[in-house]
Structure 1
């Protein structure tokens, strides 16, 4: 090591820390970085038998994640932490909670009497044959606290030099964790609010107005019936519950079958299935079927409570769309536009007169096979010079939907 490098990093004590300073940029994901770091530390003599990395983040369903590493050849294990997980007694009686609340560290020899709080995890660690436990906070520049723990089965536990190495690692890992957690949070926020593909486009820097691509896609547009009347006559809690119920029934099948939700427009949802795989239209049809069955189940549940089922229409079409960035100079939106989008919306509106929830175009039917669908006859779409054949789901035969205009 050069004299300059020694002056820049006088506390560097091991090849593992040297590797971390120089090479951690090669691992973009925090869980993989943690895994490789633990292996490097063991190679460098730190007697780690078990280690955990606990990070707090922003996600609609989870408040964080925990990575568990063991020195037994098994791959690391990742667990996502839900709000319910931090409400139970195991978290409230844990060193992780103490670290999050400001503790500077926890160290307990497990082969000796407990000298501080009797955390519940100690018994579990002893059962695994571990004799020493260390937990340290990883503090970011924004004050957000994550944590890391080490445990060993080596007789005598961690040495003073081992603890120095752990403490030297903490500020380095805190910086690496902050950058990666921030990137993960940004990605999650973008996926949550603009969709996966649009989020990737934004992260890639495609944020100038007019940036676009032309894609072939199956276009899905679904809309609740009588929503304006519901808003006028119902408490806002009921309105929001109905919206969430409808969007869950539509959104889960879309995501389960590989579609991308682009936007929620009031009480409507728009999504696309890119035709870059030969089964994309079949997946879009399977999603529509799943959504129909989900809404039927919701209708039965509402009838049991003396409520009307939720009316809705869903239009399925296929064609070329422009996927891109539109809006003002400083407020942009990733969306799809084009004749195929307009026709999907017109198909959805035809559900009112056809007493069908799902209305499918001839172009889409040709993609999946007309024999799999029920002919609904020829109908005129606004903007079309001639009528086109329309189709519905076999599931809706004998179960018409009376859409009162």
Structure 2
């Protein structure tokens, strides 16, 4: 007996599909090829991420397009009851007829409850009432989908955890199997380095919980601004942070403008944080941030059995030394001449300065005062 194409695909191919959106679209197309009147589909996976509780992919049969929706929550905390985004979207297709399957058990009918803990949820909207044969095929598809969905759920869990702890770029390298010491990749980017000034002394006078809260508040302002303008945080180093605005998909000048916008937003966020903290009797958090543009090497460095992703190169050395000038120059943001040459943003020149360990003097600029 010849299996329907959807079931054959689930047996032979589905376990090799690397991404949930591809899985959903491909399975939907196979079911349509078997004669099912699908209007759309939805796939929801839980995500053990610090702020994302679940990820849902929504597929429209008419166009074949897949979009993603995120459900937010906090890792390790009980989640409040939420509507099921996938269910609501399927109902919104206008048919009012939804068949939802939880891998592996299947359930038939409409429900707005969120997915069970850690269970993938696969749902379909149909353009007309289904026949008994079509209903049986959907039930069989749910059973056959359980194993490949378990693989996708495990991959999604691993990816979410690695991105939370390593960042997107490093997580991708680990998932690609790069787990040995190696040269790494050359990244051409605008580099941002920042840290809190006098934090060692401040932490001596603060309870540990307050120290962590202050670090979190600082990192929230910097990382939030970096991500908002298309940058990527590579590494937290004590109270320091290294971020990049890659050059490639956007021009060198566009990356410099984005980085300057990010440091401006981070500086405004820190000023507001100090204002709020001052009303609560908290000490201000002085900081320094520096920008430079150039090449850096990003790769696995360490011992044979204990690795870390590290950035090295002249550009990294310069941006770190440039940030060290923030305190003697009484500035919270310093910008290298290489960045200043690429942007139309109004900057204030501070002259040329010798940086420790750097052969050539560096032209230094800063942003106007807020």
TM-score range, shorter chain: 0.7 to 0.9
Is the CA contact 2:45–2:118 (under 8 Å) kept in the aligned structure 1? no
Gapped regions of structure 1 (runs ≥ 5):
1-5, 7-11, 97-120, 397-405
Residue 251 of structure 1 and its aligned partner are, at CA, apart by 0.6
Distance 1:45 1:385 in 2: 71
Q: Secondary structure at the match of 2:323?
A: helix
Is the CA contact 1:31–1:67 (under 8 Å) kept in the aligned structure 2? yes
Asked if 1:232 corresponds to 2:225, the answer is no
Closer, same or farther: CA 41–315 of 1 in aligned 2, 3 Å: same
Q: TM-score, normalised by structure 1?
A: 0.75
Residue 250 of structure 1 and its aligned partner are, at CA, apart by 0.6
1:266 maps to which residue? 238
1:21 maps to which residue? 11
Q: How does 1:192-203 map to 2 (within 5 A)?
A: 192-203=164-175
2:134 to 142, 162, 167: 162
Asked if 1:38 corresponds to 2:17, the answer is no
Q: How does 1:68-107 map to 2 (within 5 A)?
A: 68-69=58-59, 75-76=65-66, 78-83=68-73, 86-88=79-81, 90=83
Q: Secondary structure at the match of 1:290?
A: helix
Alignment deviations for residues 39-90 of structure 1 (CA, whole Å, 9 cap, x no partner): 4323423344564332222222212123345666684554222238951375
Q: Secondary structure at the match of 1:315?
A: strand
Residue 13 of structure 1 and its aligned partner are, at CA, apart by 4.2
1:363 to 338, 350, 355: 338
Distance 2:231 2:92 in 1: 47
1:245 maps to which residue? 217
Is the CA contact 1:152–1:158 (under 8 Å) kept in the aligned structure 2? no
Q: TM-score, normalised by structure 2?
A: 0.81
Closer, same or farther: CA 158–239 of 1 in aligned 2, 3 Å: farther
The range that moved more, 60-69 or 79-88, is 79-88
Paired residues, what number? 352
The structure having more radius of gyration, on CA atoms, is 1
1:138 maps to which residue? 103
Distance 1:16 1:299 in 2: 59
Distance 1:126 1:201 in 2: 39
Q: Secondary structure at the match of 2:142?
A: helix
Asked if 1:292 corresponds to 2:262, the answer is no
Is the CA contact 1:13–1:165 (under 8 Å) kept in the aligned structure 2? no
2:322 maps to which residue? 347
Residue 158 of structure 1 and its aligned partner are, at CA, apart by 4.8
Asked if 1:318 corresponds to 2:293, the answer is yes
Q: Secondary structure at the match of 1:372?
A: coil
2:355 maps to which residue? 381
Alignment deviations for residues 338-357 of structure 1 (CA, whole Å, 9 cap, x no partner): 23222222221211111100
Distance 1:154 1:20 in 2: 24
Gapped regions of structure 2 (runs ≥ 5):
106-116
Distance 1:66 1:252 in 2: 23
Is the CA contact 1:48–1:71 (under 8 Å) kept in the aligned structure 2? yes
Q: How does 1:170-189 map to 2 (within 5 A)?
A: 170-189=142-161
Q: Secondary structure at the match of 2:139?
A: helix
Q: Secondary structure at the match of 1:394?
A: coil
Root mean square deviation of aligned Cα: 3.4
Is the CA contact 2:120–2:153 (under 8 Å) kept in the aligned structure 1? no
Q: How does 1:121-132 map to 2 (within 5 A)?
A: 130=96
1:108 maps to which residue? none
